[in-house]
């Protein structure tokens, strides 16, 4: 059986042709707004990187990258990117981007180990962005301000689409609620991390959960993170650890929370060494990316990814991410979607 959620009485508000046009409107409008909000310049990004440079991301540490040999490089192995967190920071240095400015790009990835359902696909498309920051801005206040700017761009895009298509009613709250993952754990004892996300998002509509990657009071992480891009172990002014987090919204159509962005202030030299030691991965200090960081060749930065197909799915009020992107789905899920009037692209 597939893991498909089928909203009772679901009928798409836009047909396939309207949907394709609306996806273009969302992507163009949001990209322009976010770029202006954070002063980001578009750059061209790779689909794959060479294995062994430390530029690819480990995400939760268990996903296998798609790999292939390159004939003209002596059969050297390339990896399809999982995301571009470390590549972007490397690019900030190479392009000599100044403090307060950054870059943004379209990231396309293949995550072959993804468990497929209404919001997870093996094809991932994100706006990946990275911005240079000063040492004085490495704090929770700066993180929250950046999150609010991103959320404001989302709200403007939602309003724009509701003006273009009156059947798409705006539903996101005006403000986003901030909470640390340890506070969230204490608020909902006995729940799993996913259940806590659903509970807090249903209560507030839009939430940024701070501190993803470090161990909480029960000895478990809210969710796992690689040790070499987000800073999840530095204490912040609220008395907890972590300068990163996830932006989630409540999605009434599916009666669940949906993560739109994972982002954060990136590791400095101290946080990198500490987090590598916590995960027993000190050998990474010898890799190309990590050497550049430890040698002071990379700027301090903040960055993240924002799911393109997920944002389109929510703003177009679709029941399945396959209604806003083209991917591969199990035959059983395709059959169920047809029966439930879910029109996969």
Q: Is 259 among the catalytic positions?
A: yes
Work out the angle at residue 88's Cα, subtended by the Cα atoms of residues 84 and 92, and round it to the nearest 5 degrees. 180
Q: Rounded CA gap, 213 and 223, in Å?
A: 6
Residue among 246, 257, 308, 317 flagged as catalytic: 246
Active site residue 325: no
Q: Is 57 a catalytic residue?
A: yes
Q: What is the 3-state secondary structure (H, E, C) of the chain?
A: CCCCCCCCCCCCCCCHHHHHHHHHHHHHHHHHHHHHHHCEEECCCCCEEECCCCCCCCCCCCCCCCEEEEHHHCCEEEEECCCCHHHHHHHHHHCCCCCCCEEEEEEEEECCCCCCCCCCCCEEEEEEEEEECCHHHCCHHHHHHHHHHHHHHHHHHHHHHHHHCCCCCCCCCCCCEEEEHHHHHHHCCCCCHHHHHHHHHHHHCEEEEECCCCECCCCCECCCCCCCCECCCCECCCCCECCEEEEEEEECCCCEEEEEEEEEEECCHHHHHHHHHHCCCHHHHHCHHHHHHHCCCCCCEEEEEEEHHHHHHHHCCCCCHHHCCCCCCCHHHHHHHHHCCCCCC
Residue in 126, 257, 261, 275 annotated catalytic: 126
Q: 107 is written with which tokens?
A: 């990231």
Catalytic residue among 35, 257, 261, 262: 262
106, 183, 223, 259: the catalytic one is 259
Set 35, 57, 79, 261: catalytic member: 57
Residue 117 a catalytic site member: no
126 as an active site residue: the answer is yes
Q: Which of 35, 79, 111, 225 is catalytic?
A: 111
For β-strands 256-265 and 301-307, DSSP reports them as antiparallel
Residues annotated as catalytic are 57, 111, 126, 246, 259, 262
């Amino acid at each position: 059986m597939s893991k498909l959620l089928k909203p009772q009485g679901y009928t798409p508000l836009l047909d396939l042709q309207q949907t394709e046009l609306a996806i273009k409107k969302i992507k163009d409008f949001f990209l322009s707004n976010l770029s202006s909000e954070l002063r980001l310049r578009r750059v061209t990004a790779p689909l794959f990187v060479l294995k062994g440079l430390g530029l690819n991301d480990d995400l939760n540490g268990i996903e296998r990258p798609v790999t292939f040999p390159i004939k003209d490089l002596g059969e050297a192995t390339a990896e399809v990117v999982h995301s571009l967190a470390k590549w972007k920071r490397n690019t900030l240095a190479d392009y000599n981007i100044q403090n307060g400015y950054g870059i943004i790009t379209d990231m396309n990835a293949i995550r072959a180990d993804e468990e497929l359902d209404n919001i997870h696909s093996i094809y991932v498309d994100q706006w990946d962005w990275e911005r240079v920051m000063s040492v004085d801005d490495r704090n929770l206040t700066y993180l929250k301000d950046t999150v609010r700017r991103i959320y404001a761009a989302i709200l403007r895009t939602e309003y724009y689409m509701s003006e273009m298509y009156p059947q798409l009613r705006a539903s996101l709250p005006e403000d986003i609620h901030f909470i640390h993952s340890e506070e969230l754990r204490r608020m909902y004892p006995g729940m799993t991390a996913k259940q806590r996300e659903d509970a807090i998002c249903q209560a507030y509509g839009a939430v940024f959960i701070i501190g993803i990657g470090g161990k909480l009071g029960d000895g478990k992480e809210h969710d796992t993170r690689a040790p070499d891009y987000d800073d999840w172990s530095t204490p912040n002014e609220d008395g907890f650890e972590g300068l990163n987090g996830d932006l989630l919204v409540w999605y009434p159509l599916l009666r669940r929370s949906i993560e739109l962005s994972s982002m954060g202030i990136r590791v400095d030299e101290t946080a990198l060494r500490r987090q590598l030691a916590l995960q027993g991965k000190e050998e990474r200090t010898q890799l190309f990316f990590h050497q550049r960081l430890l040698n002071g060749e990379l700027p301090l930065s903040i960055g993240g990814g924002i799911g393109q197909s997920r944002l389109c799915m929510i703003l177009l009020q679709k029941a399945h991410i396959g209604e806003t992107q083209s991917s591969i789905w199990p035959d059983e899920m395709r059959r169920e979607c047809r029966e439930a009037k879910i029109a996969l692209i």
